[in-house]
Amino acid sequence: MSVRTVLFLCTGNYYRSRFAEGLFNHLAGQLRLDWQADSCGLALGRAETDNVGPISVYTLQAFKLRSIPTAQPIRYPRMVTLADLTSADLVVALKEAEHRALMRQHFPDWEHRITYWHVHDLDQAPPRHALAEIETLVQDLIARL
């Protein structure tokens, strides 16, 4: 049986998509699903926040709170490529209002082939709200797989 992949996309691959990836992999592992997650960014240089280090402190805190281990060393954000999109079985962008236009700009053939969620970034929602929303969405996604 081959493992299928869900690819989570956000702007900077630093906060939201990284939490979705880690949480998905943790839950899928517990349930022994034949799915794994990866994540990438759509505009690493355009991220609104000053990203320090490889991953958001809010994401690391959320992992710790949920007893989700983080692989060491923690990788730095990655920009999505066409190969990432084509190798994924499912692609989820974390916020349609931000990411649909970026998909249209960089990967126009993919704009309508991905699932869009509506999770705000730090400029519009505190981490406890956004990460809780991602947690609910990931749990719902896993329940459907």
**Per-residue model confidence as pLDDT tens digits over 67-99:** 999 988 999 999 999 999 999 999 999 999 999
Domain count, the chain: 1
pLDDT at 49 over 70: no
Find the CATH number of the domain harbouring 132. Answer: 3.40.50.2300
Note the pLDDT tens digit of each residue in 132-145. 999 999 999 999 99
Least confident of 26-40, 46-60, 71-85: 46-60
Backbone angles phi, psi at 6, to 5 degrees: -110, 135
Amino acid in position 108: P
**Mean pLDDT of the region 54-67:** 95
pLDDT (0 to 100) of residue 122:
86
Q: What is the reported pLDDT for 46?
A: 61
What range defines the domain where residue 19 resides? Answer: 4-144
More confident residue, 48 or 145: 145
Nearest in space to 20 (alpha carbons), one of 4, 38, 41, 32? 38
Which residues, 6 or more positions from 14, have their beta carbon under 8 angstroms from its beta carbon? 41, 47, 49, 51, 55, 56, 59, 77
Confidence band for 16, pLDDT divided at 50, 70 and 90: very high
Provide the 3-class DSSP secondary structure of residue 7.
strand
